[in-house]
Structure 1
Amino acid sequence: MLGSVSFWIFCRFAISYHFTADHRLFEKQTEYFENKQNVFVWDAPSHALSRPFTNNYSLSDMAEWLYEILAKEEIYNPIIIGQSMGGYLAQMYMELYPDKIKGFISIDSAPLQKSYMTAMEIWLLERAEPLYKIYPWKALLRVGSRGCAETDYGQNLMRKMMMSYNPDHKEYARLAGFGYRMLAEAIKADLAYHISCPALLICGEKDKAGSAKSYNKKWHQREGLPLKWIKNAGHNSNADQPDEVNRLIEKFISKVERESVLG
């Protein structure tokens, strides 16, 4: 599945990334929450303004860097909202810092536990880069934008973010391949990846990225995590249907804050 990387921190919560995209993926969220919360945006390593960056880090490295950034900004016990790869990153963060998170929202992501994946799926993740390299750039732009979003706004936004790598689309291929290998490495580590806080799963009804819909159904069934389907939305459901996703985010935050006050 295509993805992007970005973090936006609303006072007590962070929103993280979808590989190969950047902070612009969340512009409808930052616009909505900017007068309600403090907003902090991070382009993760190898993305947008955080380029150039050598692709030799792990998902646990990124979780540690996130922790250090939050500590420096004096943001403690955040609600982390992770889109696509950002959902995996949030789970790694919980693995390393289970008591340093207040809530978790997964947007079009999936569980990081090895038990959800087949050996073939992991094998394919480790070998994605050659496919990206041989794909004609114009065709990849078309497939990438249409595969991630259903609406004109969502597709145009994804295309614009992908064009950040033009004319060197080999950089895009290297980044995508690296991201999938990094994900495979974290899955093969076979850690518990226990959800240590209140959580909410959000997924577009038309998400065509890999097996995201199937994973979310299984995640909901096995862990009992609430799951909300977004109509007329693809993999980037927060871009396709921002009003509905913003409503769910706001409702979740209010619930977590209310329960925190009640103890």
Structure 2
Amino acid sequence: MLEKTYITLLGTIHYWIHMIDTDIATLVFLPGLTADHRLFEKQIEYFQGKYNVFVWDAPAHAASWPFQFDFDLFDKVKWLNGIFKQENITRPVIVGQSMGGYVGQTYAELYPENLKGFVSIDSAPLQRKYVTGMELWLLKRMEPVYFYYPWKSLLKSGTNGVAVSEYGRKLMYEIMMVYDGDKKRYSQIAGHGFKILANAMEANLPYEIKCPALLICGEQDHAGSCIRYNKAWHKNTGIPLEWIKGAGHNSNTDKPEIVNRLIERVVKQIQ
């Protein structure tokens, strides 16, 4: 994987890419909020050499710092599309975990003709109808909650709360330790992420997925109301839903072999 950069007016985005052929699918791996590119190391390991692969540190995350917190979900997607143009990525299949899934749905809204495939991993629908007013109110006010929460407790909940496997928990611990000693930055990343998510929901756009798609959710995903949201998402849209036994919120780290096979199934639909 080659590390490259994309410069914006608010900061520089770092991403990693391996291109084989611009005419084949590019798997675009988008990590969840506060996670970085390492979240998908088992997927990169499996798919590199089979397809084009891409993963980023989202704006303000890990290597994509310093970065001004003056952007929304739509800006994020426009930058992502700018990277696609820079790299001549013409057949993107977005694989988004949690917040990465919301980025994928926003991409589907802004660039519906470009998106060739979509896989949601422990994410949820972006449409306004799925959330309550109280949920939106809370999402906009999460930064102080994270800031005043003891760091050791955050570390524990941020690792044990998102993964079931030893590997998944260890990986998330290492990712969180990037912010050890700088809880203010961690709180800003989390708080800003939840806020722009709420704003995108309040925009009340269709966020329709018009390409081959798949919903993946861990049976032990207890982050927010992911299980409830995925059941409703599947019921309302007919997008296939796969439950991953023995997996939490980061099901791609808990059960990578199963998740990799499911991702490949979607990619084969568009080849």
Q: Kindly indicate whether residue 166 of structure 2 is the aligned counterpart of residue 162 of structure 1.
A: no
Give me the CA root mean square deviation. 1.5
Q: Which has the higher helix share?
A: 1
Alignment partners' CA distance in 2, 1:78 and 1:176: 27
Report if the CA contact (8 A) 2:34-2:189 is conserved: yes
Partner of 2:224: 210
Deviation of the 1:7 alpha carbon: 7.7
Alignment partners' CA distance in 1, 2:186 and 2:244: 29
Determine helix, strand or coil for the equivalent of 2:158.
helix
Alignment partners' CA distance in 2, 1:120 and 1:114: 12
Q: TM-score, normalised by structure 1?
A: 0.93
Q: Give ranges in structure 1 of 5+ residues lacking alignment.
A: 258-263
Partner of 1:256: 270
Q: Kindly indicate whether residue 157 of structure 2 is the aligned counterpart of residue 143 of structure 1.
A: yes
Determine helix, strand or coil for the equivalent of 1:187.
helix
Q: Kindly indicate whether residue 108 of structure 2 is the aligned counterpart of residue 87 of structure 1.
A: no
Q: 1:103 aligns with which of 101, 107, 117?
A: 117
Q: Give ranges in structure 2 of 5+ residues lacking alignment.
A: 1-13, 20-24
Partner of 1:261: none
Cα deviation, 1:9-43, whole Å, max 9, x if unaligned, reads 77423121201010000000001111212323321
Alignment partners' CA distance in 2, 1:96 and 1:77: 15
Q: Report the CA distance shift for 1:7/1:224 in structure 2 as closer, same or farther (over 3 A).
A: farther
Q: 1:226 aligns with which of 227, 240, 252?
A: 240
Deviation of the 1:113 alpha carbon: 0.2
Deviation of the 1:71 alpha carbon: 1.1
Q: 1:241 aligns with which of 235, 245, 255?
A: 255
Q: 2:29 aligns with which of 9, 15, 19?
A: 15
Partner of 1:260: none
Q: Kindly indicate whether residue 155 of structure 2 is the aligned counterpart of residue 152 of structure 1.
A: no
Report if the CA contact (8 A) 2:42-2:256 is conserved: yes
Q: 1:122 aligns with which of 126, 129, 136?
A: 136
Q: Kindly indicate whether residue 220 of structure 2 is the aligned counterpart of residue 188 of structure 1.
A: no
Alignment partners' CA distance in 2, 1:116 and 1:9: 37
Deviation of the 1:207 alpha carbon: 0.3
What is the total number of aligned residue pairs between the two structures? 253
